[in-house]
Amino acid sequence: MKIALFIFVTLSFLASAKAESEWNFGADLQMGEQYFPQSYGDETNDSLFKLEIDPLLKWKSGDHWRFYFKPVFVANPDNKSDNEKYFFEPSEAYIKFQKDVLNIQLGYNIVTWGVTDGYNPADMVNTKQIFDPIRSKKLGVPSLMISESLKWFDYDFLYIPRAREAILPGTDSRWLPREVFVPQVPQNNLVLLLPANLRYHYGTNESLNNALDNNFALRMQKTISIFDLSLYGYDGAAPYPIIEPQVTGNIVQVSPKTVIQVDPDVTLNTKNYRVREGGFSLVSHQWDFLFKYETTYTSDYGDYTNLPGWVHESVLGLEKTFNFTDGTFIGILQYSFLDTQRQNDSNISITEIFRRAWMAGGRLTWKEVWNASVLGLYDTIHSSHFEEVSVGRRFFDAWTLNLTADFITGSSENPLGLYSKNDSYLLTLSRSF
């Protein structure tokens, strides 16, 4: 209802615009087939066909007024999880007023803060749709955003009257635990062994400490000599909720951890919680290298038992561009190191993948029609790793054919190894209009 009302008010406003207004239309279309070589039970998909359409509408009037609307529509008609078959998201849909050094945007906004790649702890504002954690999509946040360039620094401020909740995988998804579930509990002493005939259900959904109401975010930026500096602040909902399984079953071990062989029906209860985060990033270009550093400190609100406590996250990165005949290669090396109040052993904690992790990769473009990329991630604590290789070719200036292969290795009891049955091959054909 809120989305429909915003679009109606916006179109009514635009209809009254002057004749000299300028309109632009476009669209991105993508069709893809994803194949998973390893079966993960009769209730999950071994292959998925996806159709995605991202229309684009832009309008401007004079020097001051702009309108931008780029929704996302995705169809997975053969998905066995009913809530994943069709997905519509307003994504970016805002009215913008700009004058001199001041910009004001009202509507659904997507912002990307922070400077690191793959893992970016300062990028807290937008929650995500995580049907596939490797290819999650940001959700537009309904907000008022003010950006201004002052004499000494630039800033971006967001007020979010009501934050959106993350959209979790469907109950028949390959991306939920299907062998071992290690939940987040204060003593890190619980392991759930899952049955072959597992049936997930989503249960209660609560918000602690008014987590979704009246969220705020601020970024300040300053360039000093060869250094680009940024400060970040955020007070609002955590990007991922706490997920608590509710089970029945038989205890098969009590020490050192309690191990339960659970019955087929597992209910997942979720709790949104509120956090405060402060952070800092630095980018510097020296000796033909791009140095990146980002660090954040996050603490939660309230005294609920399963809150994660404080988290200190840091990422250090190095990037270099190599130019050669008819092509360019960009190489990246990155290391993340995290400290937390609770040494969380949960295998559904995305943060835990990066507690002590190396990431390396690169992207090649050649003759303006070929592109290739490779990415590797190694979790040094659990000895799990992830590799992604992608090759693409552009045809007729508008069509692009791309093949991507993902490989995941590790024990199902740790956060990255949880997805070890989800190696996949993805073929996509895309076009821009």
Spatial separation of the C-alpha atoms in residues 101 and 104, rounded to whole Å: 10
Q: Are 297 and 124 in contact (CB under 8 A)?
A: no
Q: What is the pLDDT of residue 113?
A: 94
Share of the chain above pLDDT 70, in %: 96
H-helix or E-strand containing 8?
A: helix 2-15
Span between the terminal Cα atoms of the chain, in Å: 30
Q: Which of 202, 172, 130, 133 is nearest to 41 (CA)?
A: 172
Calculate mean pLDDT across residues 136-165: 96
- Arithmetic mean of pLDDT, 424-430: 98
- Boundaries of every domain in the chain: 2-432
Query: In sequence order, what E strands does 76-140 have?
Result: 86-99, 102-109, 128-129, 137-138
Q: pLDDT digit string (tens) for 242-272? A: 999 999 999 999 988 899 999 999 999 999 9
Lowest mean pLDDT among 147-151, 160-164, 345-349: 345-349
pTM for this entry: 0.90
pLDDT of 93 > 70? The answer is: yes
- The total of other beta-carbon atoms located within 10 Å of residue 420's CB is 18
pLDDT surpasses 80 at 339: yes
Q: Minimal CA–CA distance to 419: which of 385, 383, 389?
A: 385
Do 430 and 403 form a contact (C-beta atoms < 8 A)?
A: no
Range of lowest pLDDT (39-43, 107-111, 221-225): 39-43
On the question of pLDDT at 88 being above 80, the answer is yes
What is the Cβ-side half-sphere exposure of residue 70, based on CA atoms within 13 angstroms?
A: 15
Please determine, looking at this structure, whether the domain spanning 2-432 carries the CATH number 2.60.40.1730. Answer: no
